[in-house]
Structure formats: structure tokens, C-alpha cells
Structure 1
Amino acid sequence: TDLVFIDPVGTGYSRAKDKETAETYWGVEGDIKSVSEFCRMWLNRNGRWRSPLYLVGESYGTTRAAG
């Protein structure tokens, strides 16, 4: 079982390297793009494309998980 927890940029322990970069992540579209890219890369690097995948979000994260 793999449990992967993601804090979108600017939340929790996740930070952008500078303000200009951070602005590309602010908002629903930026969050969805960055989190989906992370998931794609993680699944590729760990060979887990055929494994069951469950996405869950809380509060504002629900919208991003469904994106």
C-alpha cells in the first residue's frame, strides 16, 4: 500500500521558490495542474499505473481532487 499526501504549493509545508513562481499556482487551475503533474510523475517513477488510485480532498481540496 502506498499512501501519498500532497500539499499544493502555498499550503501546508509546500512552498514555491519565489513569488513569481508562486503566482502560477494560485487558484484552482494552477493547483489542479501542479497536483495532476505530480501524480503523473509519481505513478511513472514508481511503476504504479495499474494500481488502484483513490483521490481524496478536504474542504477546498475536494475541488482540486475532482479536477
Structure 2
Amino acid sequence: ITIFFYLFSHVIIALYFRTIVAKGYYFPKDMHETELDLFANEINKREKLIDSVYKITDAAMNLNATDLARDKS
């Protein structure tokens, strides 16, 4: 039992010191936000491109369907 409490106390103390060291770490928030904005803009551009491809594909399929219907009659 003594060994368990000894090891447990050392683990708790090690985790406590690890959190103290982690609090001192500086996170570059501004740089991170600008990078995320760039990624979001790139995703929006790609979504617009995909939407336009879907519209062109639908228009081509409709045109093809009308041509086939016209050819059958």
C-alpha cells in the first residue's frame, strides 16, 4: 500500500509540474487565426467550383435528355 501511494503521489506531482510548464507556452493565436482564415477561404473557393461543376453537369444532362427525346420522336 505504501508503494502505491508513493507512486501515485509522484504521478500527481509530475502531472502538476507538466501543467505548469504547459501554461508558460505561448500560442501564436493571431498567426493561427490567419492561417485558418486562409484555409476557410480556400474551402469556400473549392465549394463554389464544385457547385459550378454540378450545375454544368446538370445542364449537360438535361440538354442530352432533350436531344434524345427529340431524336426518338
TM-score where L is the length of structure 2: 0.28
Give the structure with the larger helix fraction: 2
Larger relative contact order, structure 1 or 2 (CA cutoff 8 Å, min sep 6): 1
TM-score (normalised: structure 1): 0.31
Bigger Cα Rg: 2
